Amino acid sequence: MEYFNLHTHKFTNQSNVLELVNQYPQEFDARIPYYSIGIHPWFIVKERMEADLEIIESKLQEASCLAVGECGLDKRIEIPMELQEMVFEKQLLLAQKYKKPVVIHCVAAFQELIIIKKKLNISVPILIHGFSKNAQIAKQLVDNGFYISFGKYLLLNKELEAVFTSVPNNRFFLETDTVEEGIEAVYELAAKYKGVSVKEIQELVNSNFNEVFDFRL
């Protein structure tokens, strides 16, 4: 593949891009060829939680479902952390059961994330999507076995250049999330920041993809 978009909310159906489209259990679109599915912390409905988890488990058994997520923790919303952590842990255990990587939404809760990963002894790859923090947090995540995906904030914030270049080549992914720019623009900026060609960035991402995802085009 020429381009892999780790996380997007918009399926663009380009022949040269493999898109991991974010899906929610109650809004599932079977027309999307490859997707992740999860309960986002913003959209936790306690009364619907078990039904959502059942849908996620059924989809995880399909080849077109490449990952769990986005799921995770967010300290800046009103949903209690205790409930967030419970829903998150259930999804991590499903990912472990079906050997699927996990795409993470994390806001101001990176320490909790690391603690939960260790507590549950999660061995499947965990990918932090939309990273926008400093190099110190990035290093701590990498040291604890996480992968880090850059996209929207890389395009918007020049200060992330130093953070991105500090992440080892075997631990990063690229994405668009909700921005209008295509994944090609993210690859071009990543190549500029790493001081390599777009083709080399493509080779690095493809290598990381093959390491993380049990999938071959």
Binding residue per annotation — 62? no
Beta 126-128 vs 172-174: how paired, if at all? Answer: unpaired
CA distances from 215 to 20, 122, 206 (A): 12, 20, 11
Binding residue per annotation — 129? yes
| Residue 42: alpha-carbon gap to chain centroid | 16
Q: What are phi and psi of 94, to 5 degrees?
A: -65, -40
DSSP H/E element including 103: strand 102-107
Environment class of 47 (CB within 10 Å of its CB; exposed 0-12, middle 13-18, buried 19+): exposed
Contacts of 72 (CB under 8 A, 6+ apart): 40, 41, 88, 104, 105, 106, 109, 113
Structure-token pair, residue 2: 């020429």
- For residue 132, give the 3-state DSSP assignment: coil
Structure-token pair, residue 68: 């769990």
Binding residue per annotation — 105? yes
Q: Which of 159, 154, 144, 53 is nearest to 97 (CA)?
A: 53
Dist. CA 65–CA 17, nearest whole Å:
16
Binding residue per annotation — 7? no
Binding residue ranges for a divalent metal cation? 70, 105, 129, 177
What residues form the annotated binding site? 70, 105, 129, 177
